[in-house]
Amino acid sequence: MASEKVLANKYHGGKSYTPMSPRDWEECWMHGKTFFHKPYVHPQLIKYENELISGRRGIRIFLPLCGKSLDIQFLRSKGHKIVGVEFAEMPIRTFLEEHSIEYEVADMPSIEGQVFKALDGSLKIYQCDIFKFDASAEDLFDAVWDRGAFGAINHHQREQYVDLLKMILKPDSKILLNTFNYDQREYSGPPHCLLDEDIQQLFGDFFTIENCEPLDEMNDAKRMRGMTRFLQETRLLCLRLMPFSNMHRLKKCEQNSQLF
Ligand SMILES: C[S@@+](CC[C@H](N)C(=O)[O-])C[C@H]1O[C@@H](n2cnc3c(N)ncnc32)[C@H](O)[C@@H]1O
Predicted structure pTM score: 0.93
Question: Is 129 near ligand 1, meaning CB less than 6 Å away?
Answer: yes
- In what helix (H) or strand (E) does residue 91 lie, and over which residues does it extend? helix 89-98
**CA–CA separation, 55 and 53 (whole Å):** 5
Please report whether residue 10 resides in a domain. no
pLDDT tens by residue, 194-205? 999 999 999 999
Question: Is 92 near ligand 1, meaning CB less than 6 Å away?
Answer: no
Say what the pLDDT of residue 190 is. Answer: 87
Measured from the CA of 88, which atom of ligand 1 is nearest? 25
Measured from the CA of 65, which atom of ligand 1 is nearest? 12
Please report whether residue 115 resides in a domain. yes
Please report whether residue 139 resides in a domain. yes
Say what the pLDDT of residue 248 is. Answer: 81
Indicate which CATH number applies to the domain containing 85: 3.40.50.150
Residue whose CA is closest, atom 4 of ligand 1?
67
Specify whether the CB–CB gap between 26 and 88 falls below 8 A.
yes
Say what the pLDDT of residue 256 is. Answer: 66
Please report whether residue 118 resides in a domain. yes
Does position 260 have pLDDT exceeding 50, yes or no? Answer: no
| DSSP class of 33 | -
Give the pairing type, strands 169-182 and 141-147. parallel
pLDDT tens by residue, 121-136? 999 999 999 999 999 8
Please report whether residue 61 resides in a domain. yes
Question: Is 125 near ligand 1, meaning CB less than 6 Å away?
Answer: no
Total tally of structural domains belonging to the chain: 1
Please report whether residue 208 resides in a domain. yes
pLDDT tens by residue, 80-101? 999 999 999 999 999 999 999 9
Please report whether residue 7 resides in a domain. no
* Structural domain span for residue 168: 22-259
Please report whether residue 70 resides in a domain. yes
